[in-house]
Every structure is written in structure tokens, then in C-alpha cells.
Amino acid sequence: MDVSSSPAQQDVVVVGGGHNGLVAATYLAKAGRSVLLLERLPATGGAAVSTRAFHGVDARLSRYSYLVSLLPRKIVDDLDLRFAVRRRRISSYTPHGDAGLLVDAEDSARTREQFVRLTGSERDFDAWQRFYAMTGEVARRVFPTLTEPLPTRAELERRVGDATAWEALFERPLGETVEATFSDDVVRGVVLTDALIGTFTHAHDPSLRQNRCFVYHVIGGGTGDWDVPIGGMGAFTDALAAAARAAGVRIVTGAEVTAIATDGKVAEVTYEDVEGGGTRTVGARDVLVNASPHALAGLLGAERPPRPEGAQLKVNMLLRRLPRLRDTSVDPREAFAGTFHIAEGYRQLQTAYEQAAAGRVPDAPPSEIYCHSLTDPSILSPELAAAGTHTLTLFGLHAPARLFATDPQRVKEELLAATLAQLDAVLAEPLADCLATDADGRPCLEAKSPLDLEREVGLPGGHIFHRDLSWPYADEDADADRGGNADAAGGNGERLAHVDVTQATGRWGVGTGYANVFLCGAGAVRGGGVSGVPGHNAARAVLERAR
């Protein structure tokens, strides 16, 4: 399509109103650009929303994404957001038989006692301290680079400044380091889980997908802490939407973008107006796409990359009270406040992976849960909070989309039953006895498979990161193929036909094959998680290009 004579009606059109799209739009509007944001759903927020999930029950659950680690304070401050997070004192609890392992982030002596109780010695505790001191130092050095121009691999390695840490995290399969560092199976499993969130892989995967996932999970905030969003995840995106409107962003919901045409200088964005009816087209100098690379290719009329595959079961629950534990030495209010690991021993994780890879529901599906309302009761009505009601969020691993392909509802029910059975095995009473009921008398429990996530919030294959996470440095070979600087000022304004337009590269890791089309969603380099980083970086790329 020839768009060379199309007048630009907007400086910028942002496709998709998830948190990254809102971040990008707000930065650009504050810089004086006219910005139109188009969102397919009836409201902004994407997967970072709060919902009254159960009929007649005033509890605002973070339905999809639920914890915050990767959001830089810089973005909150730059955009004047009224938003805060709260740190969890209890890092994790892992039941094992009638005992367990409680990791108290503020009491090293207590945590040491827990390790000794589980393992019989201090060896793994000392190894734990050394290992996370190492990852903590990497976090302090790497996290600030996420909102800077994309470093090369060599530059990031120099920034880390620790050859042993670099080799352990960036060079060798994580399983080698875990096995060399820790001896206890439960401890090994707790460490490995951060490499498997939303990522279907195993400890010794030669592609190092597990390492990439692990790196992002331990660098968040420069500390590796995973914090609770006060008011629920929707409080963040509500604050972003308010900031965007205050900055002058025009937000149109119920607007499903169907095509983007560009010559690299001006662009036309076509969308279906659900409320107004009909097809509309708007011109823009620059287009930022807060959708997956898979969707981006379709919008540009390019060949789509292989569909990514999500691998999780998300379960939201509301409880009348917290259940009692088989481990009577631990208060449930502590155990459920951190990350509660279920069937996540090191060998269990490998077995579950092998069974799922073979196309079957794992016998013991691994999962982890936490209770938002223990840290932040504001998501509950005063009446529910006073009655002792609590939320419970479960994130199941090794549940690849392929399992749901032929009979999605049956498989989801089978997987849910097997997952809850693993939880019941470590409780002193059935979870079902603790579930609250909604206004119709139904148990307050909902489960989301990868297929549900694709249908409801547009995650391709249900992949929560839009595709496998990338290293937080430049792919120098890809940039050389593209001409080196596709998302920076001075781009040549033409798509290079032989290049995959979804392979985000360039100075900020958000460039496509077009000089005026940018990827600002989780599929950008340094994307994934609730961070706002791709939105920030895409905005910076646009502003630099216009100099």
C-alpha cells in the first residue's frame, strides 16, 4: 500500500493499551507529541488488571499478572504515578512431608535454623547465602541498564565484572550451577523455579532459556524482590491511564487494529471501531505496537514467526480462612505470605517437564501460590477483611499449550484437580473446606489455561512474555543484518525485505524492519513481566529518531 502521500493525523499511534503501551504513550505525550492509543478491549490494562472475579463478592483480584519486580522506580517517578508496592518479609515456604523450609528475608538466623532442620547441616544455607549474594550483585549492576541504550554482550559482561557469575548465569546451563552449589533436592528446586516461570524448559536446556528467565527474575528492582502491588495490579494500570489522559493521550477502547501500512516515513493504522461501528484509518508519523511479535507480523502483512507456547495454569481463589498446614511449626499467615512452593523439588520439576513434553498432564503438577491479602488487605472490602477472608493465587508450571489442543476443558479440569491434590497433600485439611462461595453459592475458584489467556488478553499461545525472553543485551549479528540501528535516529526509512520484522533490535531493542514502527510490548528485547521497560525504551527510540 502506498502511504507516501498520506497526511499524518497524529504524531504517534500506540496499538494496545496494556501497561507498556500506556507507559510509552505517556512519555511521548509529556514530550509534546500528539498520541492516540487504540485498545481492543473495553478497558485499558491488558493482563495487568484487577477484577471482581466472583459474582457478588467485593474482592479485587489481580486476575492475570500479580507481582511486581521489574518496574523501575524511574518510570514511576518520571510519570508521577500514584502507585506503590510492598515488600514481602517471607520470601518463600516449601513444605516437605510434615516439615518444610521457610525463608525469612529479615531473619538470617531463623532461616539458617530452617535449612538445618530440613537438610541436617548448614552447608546448603551457606551456599544459599553465597549464591544470592552473587545474584544480588549482578542485579545491582544489570538492572539499571534496562532503561539505558542496549549494551552489547561484551559491555554487559564488563558491567557485571565477575567472570564466575557471568559464566554461571549467562554461559552454562543453570542446572550445572544449581547441582554444583546445592546438595538438597528441595533447595535445588526452590532455586530452579525462578528459571521456569512462564517458560517451558528444564535445568539443562542447551538453549539457555532457563538462564534467561532466571536472570530476569533475580535482577528485578536491583534486588530480585518480587513485591505486592498495593491495591492490586489494576492500581498500577489505572494510575498509568490517569497519567496518560492528564498528559493529553487520547485513549480509544473497543478499537481492534487490523492492519498497519507504512513506507518507513508515514504510516496508516486501520482499526475496527466496536462502539461507533465501521472501519477507520488514522495516519501517524510513528507507530508503537504493544502486542506480541506474532501479532505485529500479521498487522504488517509479513510472514508470522512460529506461534510461541505458554506453559502455565493460573488459578484465582477466595478463601473463608487460610487452611491449616501439616507442618505445625509454621503459621499459615507466614507460609502463604511468601511464595509457597508445591511439588517443586528438583527431581519433581524434571519429571513433570518430561511428562508434559511427552504430551501428558504431569502426575504431580508443580505450582506456587501466595496470598495477596496478607500483605495488602485493601483489595478486600472491609467486611470481607474483618471476616478473615483471604485471596489465594496459584501459578502452575509445566502446563504447555500443546496439552490443551484437542480437549481443552477436560485437560484443564484434569490438570486443576491434579494440582490442587498436590496442595491438599501438604495441608491438614482439604482446601475445598476453606473456599468462599459467591452470591450464587458456587466456590470462588477460577482457572486460566494458556488458551484462555490467548483468547482473553491476546497472549499468543498463552505465553506471558509474548515469546521466550531474550538476553538483556544486543544481538550483534541481527543488528548487522538489519543495518545496525533500526530503532535509532537516522534509520533508512525502508523495510529490509529479508529481515524478520518481529526480531526487535537496534539501539533500544525495540526496532522493526521499518524506521517508524516500534515494538513496545513484552516481546521487545528486555521485555517480559510487569516492567514498563519496553514502553520507556520505545518512547526513547521515537524521541531520538525525531532529533
Secondary structure of 487-513 in HEC code, one letter for each residue = CCCCCCCCCCCCCCCCCCECCCCCECC
Report the alpha-carbon distance of residue 521 to residue 237 in Å, rounded: 14
Q: Which residue has the cell 516461570?
A: 197
The predicted pLDDT at position 546 comes to 72
Spatial contact of 495 and 471, defined as CB atoms under 8 Å apart: no
Residue type, 280: R
Q: Count Cβ atoms below 10 Å from residue 480 Cβ, excluding itself.
A: 10
The predicted pLDDT at position 483 comes to 40
Contacts by residues 304-307 (CB-CB < 8 Å, ≥ 24 positions apart): 305/467, 305/500, 305/502, 307/460, 307/461
CB proximity list for 29: less than 8 A, separation 6 or greater: 35, 244, 247, 248, 249
* Exposure string for 9-28, b = 16+ CB within 10 A, e = fewer: bbbbbbbbbbbbbbbbbbbb
The predicted pLDDT at position 357 comes to 98
Report the alpha-carbon distance of residue 151 to residue 165 in Å, rounded: 18
Spatial contact of 15 and 269, defined as CB atoms under 8 Å apart: yes
Spatial contact of 218 and 34, defined as CB atoms under 8 Å apart: no
Report the alpha-carbon distance of residue 298 to residue 304 in Å, rounded: 6
Q: What is the pLDDT of residues 4-32, one digit of tens each?
A: 555 569 999 999 999 999 999 999 999 99
Grid cell at residue 323: 487452611
Give the helix/strand (H/E) hosting 532: none
Strands (E), 362-484: 367-370, 390-396, 445-448
The predicted pLDDT at position 476 comes to 65
Give the residue ranges of the chain where pLDDT is below 50: 1, 479-485, 488-499
Nearest 5°: the CA angle 77, 80, 82 is: 105
DSSP class of residue 121 equals S
